[in-house]
Structure 1
Amino acid sequence: MLKVNEINVNYGNIRALKGVSLDVNEGEIVTLIGANGAGKSTLLKTLSGLLKPKEGTIEYLGKSIAGKPAQTIVKAGISHVPEGRRVFANMTVEENLELGAYLRNDSAGIRQDFAKVYELFPRLEERKKQLSGTLSGGEQQMLAMGRALMARPKLLLLDEPSMGLAPLLVQTIFRIIEEINRDGTTILLVEQNAHMALSIANRAYVVETGKIVISGTAEELQASEEVKMAYLGGH
């Protein structure tokens, strides 16, 4: 579904990604793990059109999307849930979700997707008239994910969905990620919580200083001594 080949991305004079290649097959959950500042968020921003690669190719469903505007990429079927949630604080939950569907005009389908999001996240339905800025961190994360789903993506890019959440909520968010995947959405997940990420992923890539240094199935990475020492607390 997604094929990234040898992309380089610069922030000013700093090379943030150095020759990164990876692929994501339809129906998979693929996770990127690595320390803060390794380049994981930069990669997602490049895939969703917020940054342009200096070199390299990005193909989605066989078509090049490298450097295309973000709205074109959303229209093609890729939605991005950014790190830090970024909900529109002075708009209600419902208005935030409506914005997720702004490129669509199939009102029956949009109504269906509202129902689907409320089924996944009952808390959002309870709070649909509430201003998003007054929600807890966990509720804002649910809203950011729900808003991305309103675009009916084929591929969902999730950046640090568990960041700053209580352990119980982390469990809930990961259960919902699995459910979204079972419903047919392919997922590329960036996550600091390597344990949780590897427990739901099919495959994984380890990113260090802008390069992919290890890749394999989630089981292979869970069993790798190197990954255990660096990202799984050495056990």
Structure 2
Amino acid sequence: MLKVENLNVYYGSIHALKGVSLEVNEGEIVTLIGANGAGKSTLLKTLSGLLKPKDGSITYLNAPIAGKPAQSIVKAGVSHVPEGRRVFAEMSVEENIELGAFLRKDKDGIKSDHQKVYDIFPRLYERRKQSAGTLSGGEQQMLAMGRAIMAKPKLLLLDEPSMGLAPLMVKTIFEVVRDINKEGTTILLVEQNANMALSVAERAYVIETGKVILSGTVEELQKSEEIKKAYLGGH
């Protein structure tokens, strides 16, 4: 479904992604783990059209999308839940959710998906008239995910969904990640909480200083002493 080959991305003179290659197959949850500043968020921003690569290719559903405008990538079925939620603080919860369907024209589908978001996140329904800026971190994460679901993505890019959340909320968010995937959405997940990420994914890539240094099935990575030491709190 998604194929990234030899991707190089720069921030000015800083070489942020160095020849990154990876694949995500339809129906999978694939996770990208790595320390802060390793290039994980840069990769997602490049996939969703917020950054342009210097070279390399990104193929989504057999079509090249590298460097295309972000809105055309959303239209093709890729939604990005950015790090730090990025909800529209002054707007109500309901308005934020509706914005997710901005490019859609199917009124009935939008209505039923709106209801689906409330079914997945009942707390958002309770707070639907509140301005998004008054929500807790966990509720804002729910809202950012709900807004992305409204775009009806085939591929969902999730950037650090557990960041700054209480353990119970992290558990809830990851249960939702599983449910969204079961309903047919493919997910590329960037996550610092490696244990949690590996608990939901089928395959993983480890990225360090802009390079993929290791990839494999979750079972393979969980057995790796190097990964245990670096990311899983093992000795």
Class of the TM-score when normalised by the shorter of the 2 chains: over 0.9
| Aligned counterpart, 1:2 | 2
The aligned counterpart of 1:32 is: 32
Please list, as runs of the form range in 1=range in 2, the aligned pairs for 1:1-235 lying within 5 A after superposition.
1-235=1-235
CA-to-aligned-CA distance 1:53-89 (integer Å, 9 cap, x gap):
1010000000000000000000000000000000000
1:105: how far off?
1.2
- 3-state SS, counterpart of residue 30 of structure 2: strand
Structure 1: runs of 5+ lacking an equivalent: none
Q: How much is the aligned-residue C-alpha RMSD, in angstroms?
A: 0.5
Which amino acid is the alignment partner of residue 137 of structure 1? G
Any idea what SS the aligned residue of 1:41 has? helix
Deviation string 1:145-173 (CA, Å, 9 cap, x unpaired) is: 00000000000000000000000100000
SS in 1 for 2:233: coil
Amino acid at match of 1:130: Q
TM-score, normalised relative to structure 2: 0.99
Superposed structure 1 runs of 4+ greater than 2 Å apart: none
Runs of 5+ in structure 2 lacking a partner?
none
Aligned residues: 235
Q: What's the secondary structure of 2:110's corresponding residue?
A: helix
2:204 alignment partner, SS class: strand
Could you tell me how far apart the structure 2 residues matched to 1:220 and 1:120 are? 32
Query: Match of 1:120, as an amino acid?
Result: I
Q: Secondary structure at the match of 1:174?
A: helix
SS at match of 1:52: coil
Distance across 2 between alignment mates of 1:104 and 1:154: 14
Deviation by residue 1:170-223 (Cα, 9 ceiling, x = unmatched): 000000000000000000000000000001100000000000000000111111
Percent identical residues = 77
- After TM superposition, the score normalised by the length of structure 1 is 0.99
